[in-house]
Amino acid sequence: MKSLFPELDDADAVTPTGCESVGRSWCDPSLYDEVVGLDFGCNCAHYYMARSGKHGRMPFAGLLTWLLQLPCNVLVICESAHLGVPQTELSLAQPFTADQLLKLYGDLRDRGITLKLAPHAHTGKRMRLWVAHHYPSLIKNWKKSDLADALAIAVYVDRCNGMSLANPHKRFSKTLRRMFGREVTKLSNAVLNAQRTDAYSGRLNPLIIKLARKVRKREWFPSLKFVVTVASTLLSEHSGRLVVLTHLGQCPGRWFWMRDVLRMSPWHYRGGTARSNLMWHTFRPHLQRCAQRNGVNVKAGNSYKKFAVYDAKQKAVHALAMKSFRQLLLRCRELCLEQAQQAGAGRLELTRISEEGPNGR
């Protein structure tokens, strides 16, 4: 079979020093004099410097001062859960308040020090595993520790930078779009969790199941479960009627839906049953089919290989599979909304605006 990736036919696994540029839209580590990884644990902050190898730890009380004493043109990366979440009455484990964090962000900018936040769900699954695979002498046996995580963050960003990083927050109030996404997730979870016991028979949520079956008859989709999952993030049943879920009177557009409802990014913490159905139960078999068609193997026995250990061909076929999967999602979304319109679906507004509430869209 002719490969779709002839330029990769003779490619070796991507080397740590890599043939690939580490510059990405979120940052280019090569432009900085040092890359520092931070992780919190045992009431201390642990740091590792990717270029010099310097490392250590300090109590939280001294961290903010230490950060501001770093030289300019340094890139600092920390999990969002640590330097991106303020202390509140409900999260006293966070060491810094919102005012302290916002002041830190401004002071770092004034000092010429760049802070980026990493999605904390991927420190182990992506960063530490990548470093352990390419630099086994640095993290022996993928050993878990706070220093290992600080090292993994620094080295991964410095030499791979394959996962999007976020800028510090300008404010900590929740946006209306994010609140809408959370409300949709609650409704979607209720539908999909019910279907786990109902086996998509139509006894529960009959209008959504009926719509999903009609959509699946129109075009090929991986399963009825896939269509119901997409439909559950767009529609609901209210007072015996099918309704479209709206934000400020409108059904969310494609980008809004993908980013804030499905959370199609590394920042998908608590993405809900819908994301699990799509990315864990549906995308991986889709990736395997795409890989087999192109003569690439993404499995080790019966298990899927971790993305952190992919070679160049596997990364290329993963990108191809992800692109086609997004197109499949968007086409299913389009047909679900068309079918809802034909069925005379009403609207259910989920975005509530109060005088004390957030004012962002």
Q: What is the pLDDT of residue 313?
A: 95
Closest CA to 67 of 112, 117, 120, 127: 112
- C-alpha dist (Å) from residue 245 to 35, 207, 214: 44, 15, 20
3-state per-residue secondary structure call for 326-340: HHHHHHHHHHHHHHH
Question: What is the β-pairing status of strands 241-246 and 346-349?
Answer: parallel
Tokens representing residue 87 in the block = 């202390």
Q: State the burial class of residue 264 (Cβ atoms within 10 Å of its Cβ: 0-12, 13-18, 19+).
A: buried
Phi, psi of 87 (to 5 degrees): -70, 135
Rounded to an integer, what distance in angstroms lies between the CA atom of residue 118 and that of residue 166?
7
What does the pLDDT read at residue 42?
85
State the pTM of this model.
Answer: 0.84
Sheet with 241-246, strands from edge to edge, namely 235-238, 241-246, 346-349
Q: Any bridge partners for residue 241, and if so which?
A: 238
The contacts of residue 201 (CB under 8 Å, 6+ apart) are 209
Q: Which domains does the chain have, with CATH numbers?
A: 29-159 (3.30.420), 176-349 (no CATH)
Residues 6+ apart with CB under 8 A from 154: 35, 36, 37, 48, 49, 50, 77
- Report yes or no: 325 and 284 within 8 Å, Cβ to Cβ: no
Question: What pLDDT score does 12 carry?
Answer: 33
Q: What is the β-pairing status of strands 34-41 and 44-49?
A: antiparallel
- What is the structure's pLDDT at 91? 76
Q: Which residues contact 193 (CB under 8 A, 6 or more apart)?
A: 273
Note the pLDDT of residue 126. 86
* Strands 241-246 vs 74-79: parallel, antiparallel or unpaired: unpaired
Q: Quick one: pLDDT at residue 269?
A: 67
Hunting for tokens 């719509």 — which residue is that? 211
pLDDT of the chain along its 361 residues, tens only? 334 434 333 333 333 344 357 899 999 999 999 999 999 988 899 999 999 999 999 999 999 999 999 999 999 999 998 999 898 887 777 899 999 999 999 999 999 999 999 987 777 778 988 998 899 888 775 567 888 899 999 999 999 998 889 999 888 878 899 899 999 999 999 999 999 999 999 999 999 999 999 999 999 999 999 999 999 999 999 999 999 999 999 999 999 999 999 988 776 667 789 999 999 999 999 999 999 999 999 998 889 999 989 999 999 999 999 999 999 999 999 999 999 999 999 999 999 764 334 444 5
User: Could you tell me which residues come within 8 angstroms of residue 70 by beta carbon, excluding any fewer than 6 positions away?
Assistant: 34, 36, 76, 111, 113
Q: Give helix 60-68 / helix 98-111 axis angle, nearest 10°.
A: 30
Reduce the DSSP state of residue 211 to 3 states and report it.
Answer: helix
Give the integer Cα–Cα distance in Å for 59 and 154. 20
Other C-beta atoms closer than 10 Å to the C-beta of 13 total 14
Give the chain's mean pLDDT. 88
Q: Tokens 């049943």 identify what position?
A: 237
Q: Distance between CA 126 and CA 266 in Å, rounded?
A: 10
